A and B are shown apart, each in its own frame.
Chain A
Amino acid sequence: MSVSYLELVCPAGTPAALRAAVEAGADTVYCGFRNGTNARNYPGLNFDQDELIEGVAYAHDHGCKVLVAINTFPRAGNEAPWHEAVDNAAEAKADAVILADLGVLDYATKRHPSLRRHLSVQASASNALSIKFFQEHFDVKRVVLPRVLSVEEIAALVKETKIETEVFAFGSVGPMSEGRCFLSSYITGMSPTTEGMCSPAQFVSYKEEGGCTKSCLGCVTLNTFKKGEPAAYPTPCKGRYLVNGKALYLFEEPVGLNAIDILADLKAAGVTALKIEGRQRSRAYVAEVVGTFRKALDKLAKGEGALKENDLKDMAEGGRETFGAYRKGWR
């Protein structure tokens, strides 16, 4: 499939979601193996090797590419599962692997030089110098940019590095340098870096107290909500804290990222691909979000302008949307 406007990269948490994404118009899907080698290691998700082989064949038959995320950091003394994951992705004829760890990148470069390598957002490459380092040493062809850059900064990066960039278009807002945030493991012992889990559900609880709902991660209160207020999922970077006597969303508010209204700006900045987040979300979510973005991109490709309105608000985290860092002033 030739990509006419921006490549639409969509989540495939399960084989069913992969088919839903392909049917809804994805140019590319991304997925991971059913273990700690990817940053969405949640129960009931992901692929085994047979499912991946089938998924790649299905996608390729429909003109869609498949990327495999192997984007956590192997544990010392047990690197084999990560290396095996790279071998398996190559065997399944995946179009690229998405990697973060220096050791896994080194392995993939040496063992599978012709397997295309993308740099995961977990590698925290937010500047031209870092990107150049990964290009020179591992011949990385694409970088998934952290959600902390403005459109102007992305344009400058693309100009300087000449690398393909993939940016988050829909999903959550990540205020921290991804791959270098240990807040979840400080509270729960489990983190995105090694276990592929941020704020895992088994540590989450909601308690009713004095007419309010308290949301907790482990033994830590991360927010309270009055009756009727939607209780957002408790992650440390979107918790409400007491700072100088005031209750504040100090890091980020529980809002979802939606860049659908600035697609033309991203295209003009030289962005190659748009990433839709949500491997942990339902098939219906995938179909709805991917379908809406497909429509928007097709309109733009035909020069018909932007979508007038979209119904994605209900799909967004906390039911509210933001442009995140893409607009200046976010910092």
Chain B
Amino acid sequence: MTKKTTRAKLTMGPLFFNWDEDKRRDFYARIADEAAIDCVYVGEVVCGKREKLMKDLFPQIVERLQRGGKDVVVSTLAMVTSERQRESIERRVQEGFTVEANDVACLHVVQNKPHVIGPFINVFNESARDFVIRGGAKRIVMPIELPGTAIATLAKTKKAETEVFVFGRQPLSVAMRCYHARAHGLRKDSCQIVCSQDPDGLATDTLDGKPLLTVSGSQTLSHDYGVLLNELDALKKMGVSHFRLSPQNVDMIDVAKIYRDALDGKLDPKEALAKLKKVTGTIPFANGFFHSKEGMAFVT
């Protein structure tokens, strides 16, 4: 995993929504065959129940992606709450997968083995970065909230690669409580998997009817798409090697093509933004965190 001279890598982050089996299978098959993606993160981040439901599909997806020449990393839950979940992470490590740790709980299992630090573990500064590198981290995905100035400082290390979230609804919080169940008047224990009704998440608007957030199970995301296209050149210059797209309910093959072309200099940012708008429709873009502003801002 040396980062010098290698071309910018495009990655597909883990799926935050509860798509049904067919939709997932089709999605990953298309990513395997058609997408300009180098590395795909699979595995459930939000809910242990979903992980259980998709247990049989998981090896099929992995096999398909590997056959398509993709690197596969297994993302863990952002909140590991049971022994069974811990065993599942251990099993993946034993099977030889690289794991993306999303909860400090997981660091136990991957300690001194090569792994990726996901965006749900707070690596906000050099000391924290160096600590996780000493524990075996080979790549660190920057927390969503970090401004560009911090990314520039953290990406300076030669000991690990740096990945930045550049497309998709931004994960803003994790919780134990399931808000999807709560919205339906249900409890988490007996949720009836209502989150599967919303492949795009559950719209959470202000009382004056303005879209603000999106809920997927216990996770809260932005309604707006986080979009760093104007910033790609700056990120590359900082030493960022991996650029993450987060699966949304739009044509992600098209999205990947736009980002690939933008990274390769075949599309200037303005053209790329215009093209992306055609794919994503009316959902606004946001890039405030990068520019040290409120996350929902969009700085042009």
Contact = CB atoms under 8 A, between A and B. Distances in A.
Interface of A: 73-77, 79, 100-104, 106-107, 123-127, 129-130, 132-134, 146, 148-149, 175-177, 179-183, 185-189, 191, 193-194, 214, 218, 220-224, 237, 239-244, 247-248, 250-251, 325, 329-331
B146 to A, nearest CB: 8
A187 B209 CA distance: 16
A101 B86 CA distance: 23
Contact of A186 (B105, B222, B292): B222
Given A75-B150, A103-B125, A243-B202, A183 B176 contact: no
B126 A76 contact: yes
B176 A177 contact: yes
A186 B34 CA distance: 34
Query: Is the contact region of chain B dominated by helix, strand, or loop, or is it mixed?
Result: mixed
Contacts of A188: 294
A225 to B, nearest CB: 11
B288 interface: yes
Contacts of A133: 104-105, 107-108
B24 interface: no
Instruction: Give 8 nearest A-B pairs by CB, closest first.
Output: A103-B127, A129-B105, A186-B295, A103-B128, A76-B150, A76-B153, A73-B124, A331-B188
Interface in B168-216: 170, 172-179, 181-183, 187-189, 202-210, 212-213, 215
Contacts of B125: 73-77, 79, 101, 103
Interface in B48-73: none
A186 B129 CA distance: 24
B144 interface: yes
Interface size class of B (residues with CB under 8 A): 35 or more
Interface centre among A148, A179, A186, A220 (most CB of B within 10 A): A186
A102 B107 CA distance: 12
A239 B208 CA distance: 13
Contacts of B11: none
A79 to B, nearest CB: 5
A177 B173 contact: yes
B248 interface: no
